[in-house]
């Protein structure tokens, strides 16, 4: 039935969908890429400091490593942007992520190479201390920025650690025992910190997605509750209180009323059961909505109670409000009389009796009585017809066309 689909649009799922690892990884990747790209601006400071030291010491190797680091940073910026576009578009990002990790690892190797070169060629001067501190701080900042993204901090730190180990134990770079111990401790500590930050970032990201979904569900539930407070749940039409509120807002605007009552509805319930009766009510309400959408889009339709419906027509545009409302009522009567459904009993026939009354919205109570009187007169005249009431004295003055 059309009405079932209408109700389903206001159903809120009772359970929040599970948050998968891929969803967390994707959000974490996007957030981490944004921070990583912004964090690259901090590389300008160590590059400038090391460039200044290289100019003072005339260290060509340091200049070469500095140039390679700039290339590595540009590669990181390019691959990270490339990766971000792929993740946002939902495309396969394995190759782009691998290239980005290679760029990060290369950056770590170059930082280590610069530190080893300065430590062996310059000696224990203030320049080497400044360079070491600059590189170490840069590495720590870079690792922390990359740590929330699974697997990205480790290539950066791994490249740095591998280069340091190779320089000291394979290439015979001469450092004091204290310096070697400090470097080993720093690398181990950074690995532990990066892993801890990564785990915390996953938990925070998971919790953030959960809170976002809870907020969305709450908003949906509030919309649903607001809708249910103003509509009849079975039919999707306005309820009494909501119609009264809308009518009160109209003031003295001419607002003809149409009252529609399903004919012989008690017999439908007695003969075919209340379930069939509910289907008839739902079908009539859907017919009312569809008909008004075509003939009077601004109309207010409500289920008044049981098998009775009321339609308010604010500010009918026709010169003759009475004729216009009667014509709409006749269109409704005809549409209801044509209702059928393949699952309904063959002998079931649905019709409606309609009463029409006229006046401003502020006179709703009086109009309702007139429309109710006209509707009962339609039933007395044989049902399945429209009767219009005289807005001056409430008496029935004119039956409209009947089937």
Hey, which residues does 302 pair with through a beta bridge? 238, 310
Dihedral angle at the C-alpha atoms of 368, 372, 374, 378, nearest 10 degrees?
Answer: 150
User: For residues 347 and 55, which has the higher predicted lDDT (pLDDT)?
Assistant: 347
380 touches 263 (CB < 8 A): no
**Does residue 14 form part of some domain?**
no
Are residues 335 and 193 part of one domain? no
Residues 11-18, mean pLDDT to the nearest whole number = 59
303: helix, strand or coil: strand
Q: Are residues 253 and 106 in the same domain?
A: no
Roughly how many angstroms between the first and final C-alpha of the chain, as a whole number? 26
Residue 226 forms part of a structural domain: no
* Residue 352 reports pLDDT greater than 80: yes
Domain count across the chain? 2
Name the DSSP class of 362: G
As given in the structure block, the two tokens for residue 76 are: 């990181």
Give yes or no: residues 30 and 150 share one domain.
Answer: yes
**Residue 34 — pLDDT band, cuts 50, 70, 90?**
confident
Distance (Å, whole) CA 256 – CA 209 = 51
User: Could you tell me the residue range of the domain that residue 331 belongs to?
Assistant: 240-402
Instruction: Taking residues 314-331, report their average pLDDT.
Output: 74
Q: What phi, psi does 253 have (nearest 5°)?
A: -65, 130
Residue 180 shares a structural domain with residue 249: no
Q: Are residues 52 and 190 in the same domain?
A: yes
Q: Are residues 186 and 314 in the same domain?
A: no
| Strand arrangement, sheet containing 396-402 | 300-305, 308-312, 257-262, 352-357, 385-389, 396-402
pLDDT tens figures, 203-223: 887 888 888 888 888 888 888
Averaged pLDDT for residues 311-317: 82
82 falls within a domain:
yes
CB distance 304 to 255 below 8 Å? no
> pTM of the prediction?
0.57
Q: Is 181 in the same domain as 265?
A: no
| 204, 271: one domain | no
Q: Per residue in 99-148, pLDDT tens?
A: 888 888 898 888 888 777 766 544 555 665 666 667 777 777 777 766 66
Q: Answer yes or no: do 183 and 285 share one domain.
A: no
Please state, rounded to an integer, the average pLDDT across all residues of the chain.
80
Query: Mean pLDDT, to the nearest integer, of 188-202?
Result: 79
Work out whether strand 352-357 and strand 385-389 pair parallel, antiparallel, or are unpaired.
parallel
Whether the CB-CB separation of 258 and 332 falls below 8 Å is answered with yes
The answer as to whether 7 is a domain residue is no
User: Is 151 found in the same domain as 76?
Assistant: yes
Task: Give yes or no for residue 86 having a pLDDT over 80.
Answer: yes
- E strands within 106-256? none
Region 9-19: mean pLDDT is 59
pLDDT at 403 over 60: no
Closest CA to 349 of 383, 319, 315: 383
Most confident of 37-46, 170-179, 216-225, 283-292: 283-292
Q: What is the pLDDT of residue 335?
A: 96
- Regarding whether 176 and 137 lie in a shared domain, the answer is yes
The encoded tokens of residue 158 equal 């791994």
Q: Which tokens go with 22?
A: 């891929």
Confidence at residue 385, expressed as pLDDT on a 0 to 100 scale:
95
State residue 9's pLDDT score.
47
Q: What is the pLDDT of residue 368?
A: 95
* Domain contains 264: yes
């Amino acid at each position: 039935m059309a009405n079932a689909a209408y109700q389903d649009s206001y159903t809120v799922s009772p359970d929040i969908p599970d948050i998968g690892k891929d969803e967390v990884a994707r959000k974490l990747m996007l957030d981490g890429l944004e921070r990583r790209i912004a964090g690259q601006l901090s590389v300008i400071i160590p590059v400038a400091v090391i460039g200044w030291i290289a100019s003072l010491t005339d260290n060509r190797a340091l200049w070469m490593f500095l140039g390679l680091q700039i290339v590595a940073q540009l590669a990181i910026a390019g691959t990270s942007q490339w990766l971000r576009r792929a993740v946002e578009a939902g495309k396969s990002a394995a190759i782009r992520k691998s290239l980005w990790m290679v760029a990060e690892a290369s950056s770590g190797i170059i930082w280590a190479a610069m530190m080893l070169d300065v430590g062996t060629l310059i000696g224990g001067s203030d320049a080497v201390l400044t360079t070491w501190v600059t590189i170490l701080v840069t590495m720590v900042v870079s690792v922390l920025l990359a740590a929330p993204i699974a697997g990205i901090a480790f290539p950066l730190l791994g490249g740095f650690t591998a280069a340091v180990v190779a320089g000291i134990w394979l290439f015979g770079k001469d450092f004091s025992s204290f310096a070697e111990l400090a470097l080993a401790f720093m690398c181990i500590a950074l690995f532990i910190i990066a892993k801890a930050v990564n785990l915390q970032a996953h938990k925070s990201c998971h919790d953030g997605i959960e809170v976002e979904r809870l907020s969305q569900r709450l908003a949906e539930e509030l919309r649903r509750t607001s809708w249910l407070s103003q509509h009849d749940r079975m039919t999707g039409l306005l309820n009494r209180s909501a119609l009264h509120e809308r009518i009160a807002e109209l003031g003295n605007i001419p607002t003809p009323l149409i009252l529609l009552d399903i004919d012989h509805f008690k017999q439908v319930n007695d003969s075919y059961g209340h379930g069939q009766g509910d289907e008839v009510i739902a079908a009539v309400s859907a017919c009312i909505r569809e008909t008004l959408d075509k003939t009077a889009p601004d109309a207010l339709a409500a289920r008044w109670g049981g098998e009775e419906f009321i339609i308010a027509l604010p500010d009918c545009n026709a010169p003759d409000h009475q004729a216009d409302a009667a014509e709409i009522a006749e269109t409704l009567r005809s549409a209801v009389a044509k209702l059928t459904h393949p699952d309904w009993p063959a002998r079931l026939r649905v019709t409606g009796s309609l009463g029409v009354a006229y006046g401003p919205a502020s006179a709703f109570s009086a109009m309702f009585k007139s429309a109710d009187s006209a509707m009962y007169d339609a039933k007395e005249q044989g049902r399945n017809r429209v009767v219009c009431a005289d807005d001056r004295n409430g008496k029935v003055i004119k039956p409209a066309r009947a089937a």
